[in-house]
């Protein structure tokens, strides 16, 4: 319930980064699919494993995997496995249709389509919840668990599917119906108020919703795990295995590295000439450039498409279908360039999931942090590297020769890596970006700890922005109203953004140790070796492994923020000759 999708459109047609609809941009929602009736349509099976009804009428759940039977009896475990896979396909089908509706609403749907789309999406979401949480689905999970316990099944992939499905089901079942309905009303109302408040610089109208949502999320956290701190519960929902103690340690390292470095650059660093970044590049030229950038990253163009929207986003529909949406500014071509590369990183991750996971609960990315590590790996580690400037400049000259014909590779490298604090997170450079996340994390921490309420947020925002970025906050629109995440109740989400960048810094030495020449691949404009390593170590696992397990397996060591801090310090001290 507290989880919400990244950069996606709700049924009301608003295009923004988070939604009141309760699904995640990349499919990591706690109710993992939406569904309806079982595809075979029978009420129960006519065998020894009736829906919990023992042959003697006692009502005890009877499973052939748990009792001896007369000679010639056929074990029903394989049939149960087939039924489970059919259930997963039903869930996937509803999810696929929901994503189609959401993508359409964010890109090409007319304004007056919102009401009908909302009705259709509500029906699909309701069917999903019913099927995922039905007594029949619960019994099927129990019977399959018994079959594995008795050694009647040994399919390793099915065991992973069952584990992930059971977790999705358990979390979906945790919330009473009235809580789900109340939360939906609250977040949709808050979302509508935020849209008006953000444009009007009106914190007062949005303020009450912060307190109401925090209170609701504290209550909801108790349904999931009454023994844990509520904020820890939500941090774990967005990134399994993470809690406030782990994030406190992570941000302490980031703070120690980045804050003095930003100060040093402001005091002693010389900013490069970069007027060409704001030169006019036509929409037509940028559209053509976008497709070439997607190909350069390595997207299979038969498995993707490009749409246009207010805020760039991507969506994975299936193992053979992931889509990118961008926004073009004719006086800021680089915004589109790096949006395309970033979203292509998300999309190629979705397309790289093991095809055997198609239409199961293992399909899709495992967490927001891992997803962000893929997008930022291509955007920053590859796309802003010195080695990549040759292939990138070749495309820029092809599509905008009047702007980039006389720009050199070193000049472009310095320009796309300018580190200069600004107030807006979405416009932040690679170095200062984690400071924006830290501001939000620290305020959320205080709200959940009871150390602050909504009325304190603007003041806290101003104080922390001044401390970390050295900037004053002149308006609420440029401060605490700038992000839509809180309007959807997505508290605990922000930290995963910074964590994603930190993950990808740790991938680099692991790649090099495996013989992948990252710099050579970037310079050649042939990222096949990079994609091969990511595919083997990250993408193929889908939801089968949680984030920290993936990092451990890929890098041969637990997550360590030192790699990220060393990367930032080394890169930007060199760029600014500090």
Question: What SS3 class is residue 324?
Answer: strand
- Nearest CA among 514, 487, 520 for reference residue 189: 487
Q: Are strands 313-318 and 306-308 parallel, antiparallel or unpaired?
A: unpaired
What are the phi and psi torsion angles at 443 (to 5°)?
-70, -45
Q: What is the DSSP string of 170-207?
A: HHHHTS-HHHHHHHHHHHHHHHHHHHHHHHHT-HHHHH
| Cβ atoms within 10 Å, residue 277 | 18
- Nearest CA among 330, 336, 337, 340 for reference residue 305: 340
343 among known catalytic residues: yes
Residues 6+ apart with CB under 8 A from 450: none
Which residue is catalytic, options 31, 198, 207, 343?
343
CA distance 254 to 268: 21
Question: What SS3 class is residue 114?
Answer: helix
CA distance 473 to 459: 10
Token couple for 501: 């960048």
CA distance 96 to 99: 5
451 sits in which H/E element: none
CB 88 within 8 A of CB 361: yes
CA distance 69 to 59: 18
Residues 6+ apart with CB under 8 A from 483: 17, 425, 440
Instruction: Report, as residue numbers or ranges, the catalytic residues.
Output: 343
């Amino acid at each position: 319930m507290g989880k919400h999708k990244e950069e996606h459109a709700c049924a009301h047609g608003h295009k923004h980064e988070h939604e009141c609809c309760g699904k995640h941009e990349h499919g990591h929602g706690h109710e993992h699919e939406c569904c309806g009736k079982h595809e075979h349509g029978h009420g129960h099976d006519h065998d020894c494993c009736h829906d919990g009804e023992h042959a003697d009428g006692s009502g005890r759940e009877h499973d052939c995997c748990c009792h001896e039977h007369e000679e010639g009896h056929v074990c029903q475990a394989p049939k149960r496995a087939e039924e489970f896979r059919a259930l997963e396909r039903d869930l996937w089908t509803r999810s696929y249709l929901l994503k189609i509706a959401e993508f359409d609403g964010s890109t090409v749907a007319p304004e007056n389509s919102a009401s009908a789309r909302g009705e259709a999406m509500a029906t699909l979401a309701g069917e999903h919840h019913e099927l995922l949480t039905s007594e029949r689905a619960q019994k099927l999970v129990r019977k399959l668990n018994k079959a594995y316990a008795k050694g009647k099944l040994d399919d390793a992939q099915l065991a992973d599917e069952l584990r992930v499905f059971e977790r999705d089901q358990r979390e979906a079942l945790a919330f009473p119906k009235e809580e789900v309905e109340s939360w939906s009303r609250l977040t949709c109302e808050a979302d509508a108020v935020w849209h008006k408040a953000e444009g009007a610089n009106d914190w007062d109208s949005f303020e009450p919703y912060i307190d109401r949502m925090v209170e609701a999320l504290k209550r909801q956290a108790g349904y999931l795990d009454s023994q844990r701190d509520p904020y820890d519960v939500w941090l774990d929902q967005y990134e399994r295995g993470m809690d406030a103690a782990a994030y406190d340690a992570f941000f302490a390292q980031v703070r120690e590295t980045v804050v003095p470095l930003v100060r040093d650059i402001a005091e002693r660093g010389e900013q490069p000439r970069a007027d060409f970044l704001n030169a006019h590049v036509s929409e037509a030229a940028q559209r053509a450039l976008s497709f070439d950038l997607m190909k350069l990253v390595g997207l299979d163009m038969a498995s993707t498409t490009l749409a246009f929207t207010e805020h760039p986003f991507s969506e994975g529909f299936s193992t053979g279908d992931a889509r990118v949406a961008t926004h073009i500014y004719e006086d800021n071509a680089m915004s589109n360039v790096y949006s395309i590369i970033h979203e292509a990183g998300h999309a190629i991750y979705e397309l790289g999931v093991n095809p055997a996971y198609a239409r199961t609960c293992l399909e899709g990315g495992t967490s927001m942090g891992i997803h962000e590590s893929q997008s930022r790996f291509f955007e920053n580690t590859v796309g802003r590297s010195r080695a990549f400037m040759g292939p990138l400049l070749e495309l820029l000259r092809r599509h905008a020769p009047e702007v980039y014909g006389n720009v050199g590779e070193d000049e472009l490298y310095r320009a796309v890596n300018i580190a200069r604090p600004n107030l807006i997170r979405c416009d932040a450079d690679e170095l200062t970006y984690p400071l924006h996340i830290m501001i939000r994390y620290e305020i959320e921490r205080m709200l959940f700890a009871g150390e602050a309420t909504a009325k304190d947020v603007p003041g806290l925002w101003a104080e922390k922005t001044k401390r970390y970025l050295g900037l004053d906050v002149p308006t609420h629109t440029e401060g605490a109203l700038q992000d839509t995440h809180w309007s959807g109740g997505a508290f605990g989400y922000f930290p995963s953004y910074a964590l994603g960048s930190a993950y990808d810094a740790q991938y680099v030495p692991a790649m090099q140790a495996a013989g992948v020449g990252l710099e050579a691949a970037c310079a050649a404009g042939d990222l096949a070796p990079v994609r091969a390593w990511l595919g083997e170590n990250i993408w193929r696992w889908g939801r089968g492994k949680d984030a920290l397990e993936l990092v451990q397996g890929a890098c041969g060591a637990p997550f360590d923020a030192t790699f990220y801090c060393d990367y930032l310090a080394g890169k930007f001290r060199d760029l600014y000759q500090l």
